[in-house]
Structure 1
Amino acid sequence: MTPSQQAAAHPASVRHVLLHLVTPLLMCIGMGLAYMSAFMTPHPHHVKVAVIGDGPRVAAVAQAVQTQAGDALAVSTLPTVDAAVAQLHSRDLAGAFVPDPAKPELYIAEGDSDSSATVASKVFTTVAAVEGRPLTVTDVAPTTADDPTNAGAFFLMVAVSIGSYSAVAAIGAGAAGWSLKRKTGLALGVATVVSAVGAVLAGPVFHLAHHGLPGVWGLSWLYAASILLIGVGLHTFLKKWTTLVMMVLFVMLNFTSSGGLFQPALQNGFFGGLHGFWNGAGLVEGVRSLLYFGGDGVARHAWTLLAWVAVGGLTVGAAALAERRNRVPAVETPAEADEELEELVAV
């Protein structure tokens, strides 16, 4: 009699059902805490802006803006428009303002972050209003009509994430009798398929990537591979709890720190700090670098993703060593595999 037939013949106890509810309830708590703390009250913290020009008047404008904004902004001065545009392209500034009494102008890079550009626009629209002049806004790295809010890279990351972390439980339970080497090979194959789906969605389906699609696919593959390798390795130790841990690592902490909706300068220090090295941020910012900044900075984000792939490789290596030393059972029982698949469906 199979585990499913046994379950039908012997109805589950209340305790058994309640144990199955632990994972979704923990996910509910974790998701609520993570998402609400990260997204509910975005507030600028030391958003970098600049005033362009030299002389006492420029210094006075910069000082006045800094005094008015307090810790919300970090105001500097730059001598020329070219210097400001260079820093916008390297994504070191959210905006740069030319305090020309006749034609005040603000330079932004919408491709970096819609939210940060909005902060800069609000601040310097007020400054220009003091002169009684409308503010001219020049976007040096615009997004496309198919990605007007610059959230496309974030939603691509969400799609690839879901395909990757849900596949971990499917591999762990469905391929329970396989060797770790075989499961690792399958994981890399799944990463190829999931990242290809992401590339198709980003390219011909939704036209997020008007160019650079091979690079988008490559970054997506590194991202998916890192999640799948870490998950396959952790599954050796965590079994049915792997799904919960993967949700913590690659949803609760990942989506919230990716910079896809709000840049780290608009979030609290915890999520802003994670943005510097978490793999979701590596994918989102890497895709933006490819699509809107001519590849400037993409190497750094690719190295971030490669580091996560290396962590995945180390996790698989640790799992192989543990199985070889018989510290953990290499194979789940059929009942455990069925339970894990049930929890995956519930998620």
Structure 2
Amino acid sequence: MSTPRNDVPRNNDLPDRDGGPRQNSAPKPRSTRPSTRGGSRPRRGAPVAGTRPNRGGAGARTRQAPVPQPQRISRYRQWYGTLHPSLQLIGLQLWMPLFFIVGFCLCYVFAFHSPHPHDVPIALVGSDPTLVAAVQKALPGEYVFHVYDSLAQAKRDVLAGTMAVAYDPSTNELFKASAHQFQVASLVPATLSTVLTGIGVAAPTITELAPLPAWDEYGTVAMYVMLAWCIGGYMVAMFIGIMGGPLRHRTRMAVIVVGGLVISLITNTLAGPVLGAIHGHWIELVLIAWGWIVAIGLAVNGLSYFVGRFIAAPAMICFVFLSMPSSGGAYPKWFMPEPFAWLNHVVVGSSMVDMIKHQIYGVGPGPARGLITMACYAAAGLVLMFFGKMWWERRRIRAIVTGRTTMFQDAQTANREFLGEQRDAELERHGLTSTETGTLSVLRDDDWEDARVGGDVFTGGRDGLETETTPTGRIPVVRSGDRSGPSGRPGGAGTGPRTRPAPRSDAPRASAGSDAGARSDGDRPHGRHAGQ
């Protein structure tokens, strides 16, 4: 494959305005050290590579580093390197769908296939030993009663989410908050009503403290908005970690901050004014989402230094697979199995859902818990960035010095070479060739042949390209003698060779060769040297 060289100007075979050939300029000598041309600069007084100061101040030649041992390549890796480069790249990325389906089954299916109440807190105003004994006998381990002296305090705890429901035996009344947890507000009052009627008490009156609006009938909007924020935050940082390894910290953080603002504006605009799932609170939700996306992005960015291109795995584990079942958006923590019930205290999903519900419906804990969790994740990300950058640089220089590569790097190198060969082959099929400077020139008639590799419509050719003949076919040369135009102006439209695509003739090449003697230009080659 021919690649353009940086020290030779391109298109130097084209004529200048005066009709004369362009002179090739010599490559400019490098006047700066390589380290000063990039982003990093050497410290003042730092010794030049290859020398070290001695006691007298003069530079002394350092000892040459030992030659590293050659990298040991396993038989499997040797066999894998014989596959098609595109197949190598595809195979090295198949871990992601496998990881996704395994994580989905272990987290989502396991968490939601059979939710069952356990240790559900019930606020009991006053005392009712008969009800407590009946519930513990009929439903052991499912409900825990907490005695309250004040009905107002019991209602506040129900709205805050620390209590599932509140029951006042003196008035035979149950209080619930559907806006905080729809499943709890539906299941727990029905269960307690059944127990009360079983011990001879009339069905209690159910009072709604925080009803759900018509546009969020089942209370799932907060969960899905939280999921959109989480996915947007970790995906921005994930691509930074995969493709932005050498970037500085401030560049990465700038991308995370700006990307977080854009994602926050888009998600809240779609969920609110466009879809109507949320009414009002647009500015507040934009700020909350922005803070969470930045915190998640910083955490994922810090992890990316340690896991590289596999950053999608820990990011999805922390912010999707574990966060969503433990968030309390679908089912409360009192209905989830372990470890999801305990993870409700530490995952970002629970704090995000609580902040959304508190902002929209006025239920759940205040913003303090969410802000503390947000700050902890952001601080953890900054710490990981600080130490991860140094660790990543040590790994990078070790790989450069030892010459070690990964299977993915080898596959990328092989794929680049394959694409370059296919580019040259495609140019040759059209009667063109690429020079060392990247300039395209036309092949001679004897050197050009459109030979396609056999194949079928399903598998294609052995080279991976289509097997049909090209519609353009041979690209002839239109010479200056055959072009009409002003001849008095140097460098005008009539100077220099030009090419244009033309339909390829269906006649066999033998007949075309028999007529070659009748042409005026004979067997002269096409291209820029046609006149020689």
Report the equivalent of 2:181.
113
Residues 36-67 of structure 1 show CA distances to partners (whole Å, capped at 9, x for unaligned) of: 1211110111000133334xxx2322332233
In 1, the alpha carbon distance for the partners of 2:235 and 2:85 equals: 25
Query: Pairwise mapping of residues 2-13 of structure 1 onto structure 2 (< 5 A)?
Result: 11-12=84-85
In 2, the alpha carbon distance for the partners of 1:177 and 1:328 equals: 10
The answer on 1:50 being equivalent to 2:123 is: yes
Higher mean displacement: 192-201 or 37-46 = 192-201
Report the equivalent of 2:258.
189
Query: Pairwise mapping of residues 255-270 of structure 1 onto structure 2 (< 5 A)?
Result: 255-270=324-339
3-state SS of 2:369 partner? helix
Contact 1:290/1:296 (8 A) holds in 2 = no
- Displacement of 1:174 after TM fit? 4.5
Report the equivalent of 2:192.
124
Contact 1:164/1:191 (8 A) holds in 2 = yes
Contact 2:327/2:350 (8 A) holds in 1 = yes
Residues 274-325 of structure 1 show CA distances to partners (whole Å, capped at 9, x for unaligned) of: 11011111111111122222675221122111211111121222223335x5
Whose Rg is larger? 2
Residues 162-193 of structure 1 show CA distances to partners (whole Å, capped at 9, x for unaligned) of: 22222233333454553332122111111111
In 2, the alpha carbon distance for the partners of 1:282 and 1:303 equals: 9
The answer on 1:104 being equivalent to 2:177 is: no
Of 30, 51, 69 in structure 1, the residue corresponding to residue 103 of structure 2 is: 30
The answer on 1:19 being equivalent to 2:107 is: no
Which has the larger helix fraction? 1
The answer on 1:238 being equivalent to 2:300 is: no
Contact 1:257/1:278 (8 A) holds in 2 = yes
Larger RCO, structures 1/2 (Cα 8 Å, 6+ apart): 1
The structure-2 alpha-carbon separation of the partners of 1:298 and 1:209, relative to structure 1 and needing over 3 Å to count, comes to: farther
In 2, the alpha carbon distance for the partners of 1:208 and 1:299 equals: 25
In 2, the alpha carbon distance for the partners of 1:294 and 1:115 equals: 15
Report the equivalent of 1:87.
157
3-state SS of 2:345 partner? coil
3-state SS of 1:23 partner? helix
Q: Percent identity, please.
A: 25
Residues 79-124 of structure 1 show CA distances to partners (whole Å, capped at 9, x for unaligned) of: 3432321221222211112335xx6321011122112222311222
3-state SS of 2:174 partner? strand
Contact 1:275/1:281 (8 A) holds in 2 = yes
3-state SS of 1:293 partner? coil
In 2, the alpha carbon distance for the partners of 1:276 and 1:283 equals: 12
Contact 2:107/2:322 (8 A) holds in 1 = yes
The structure-2 alpha-carbon separation of the partners of 1:248 and 1:328, relative to structure 1 and needing over 3 Å to count, comes to: farther
3-state SS of 1:269 partner? coil
Instruction: Give the letter for the 2:152 counterpart.
Output: D
3-state SS of 1:70 partner? coil
The answer on 1:250 being equivalent to 2:319 is: yes
Contact 1:62/1:76 (8 A) holds in 2 = no
Number of corresponding residues: 325
Instruction: Give the letter for the 1:36 counterpart.
Output: V
The answer on 1:157 being equivalent to 2:226 is: yes
Report the equivalent of 1:275.
344
Of 138, 145, 148 in structure 2, the residue corresponding to residue 78 of structure 1 is: 148
In 2, the alpha carbon distance for the partners of 1:121 and 1:280 equals: 26
Contact 1:104/1:128 (8 A) holds in 2 = no
Of 110, 113, 118 in structure 2, the residue corresponding to residue 40 of structure 1 is: 113
The structure-2 alpha-carbon separation of the partners of 1:206 and 1:62, relative to structure 1 and needing over 3 Å to count, comes to: farther
Contact 2:177/2:211 (8 A) holds in 1 = yes
- Displacement of 1:259 after TM fit? 1.0
Instruction: Give the letter for the 1:231 counterpart.
Output: V
Instruction: Give the letter for the 2:118 counterpart.
Output: H
Higher mean displacement: 224-233 or 29-38 = 224-233
Contact 1:199/1:217 (8 A) holds in 2 = yes
Residues 114-165 of structure 1 show CA distances to partners (whole Å, capped at 9, x for unaligned) of: 1222231122221343447444221112222111211111100111122222
In 1, the alpha carbon distance for the partners of 2:225 and 2:331 equals: 16
The answer on 1:203 being equivalent to 2:272 is: yes
- Displacement of 1:201 after TM fit? 3.0
Report the equivalent of 1:344.
none
The answer on 1:65 being equivalent to 2:135 is: yes
Instruction: Give the letter for the 1:78 counterpart.
Output: Y
3-state SS of 1:41 partner? coil
In 2, the alpha carbon distance for the partners of 1:214 and 1:295 equals: 20
The structure-2 alpha-carbon separation of the partners of 1:299 and 1:213, relative to structure 1 and needing over 3 Å to count, comes to: farther
CA RMSD of aligned residues (A): 2.9
Report the equivalent of 2:35.
none
The structure-2 alpha-carbon separation of the partners of 1:167 and 1:140, relative to structure 1 and needing over 3 Å to count, comes to: same
In 2, the alpha carbon distance for the partners of 1:274 and 1:250 equals: 12
Instruction: Give the letter for the 2:172 counterpart.
Output: P
- Displacement of 1:213 after TM fit? 3.3
3-state SS of 2:85 partner? coil
TM-score using structure 1 length: 0.83
Consecutive unaligned residues in structure 1, runs of 5 or more: 3-9, 340-347
The structure-2 alpha-carbon separation of the partners of 1:86 and 1:285, relative to structure 1 and needing over 3 Å to count, comes to: same
Of 305, 309, 324 in structure 1, the residue corresponding to residue 374 of structure 2 is: 305
Consecutive unaligned residues in structure 2, runs of 5 or more: 3-82, 413-532
Higher mean displacement: 205-214 or 310-319 = 205-214
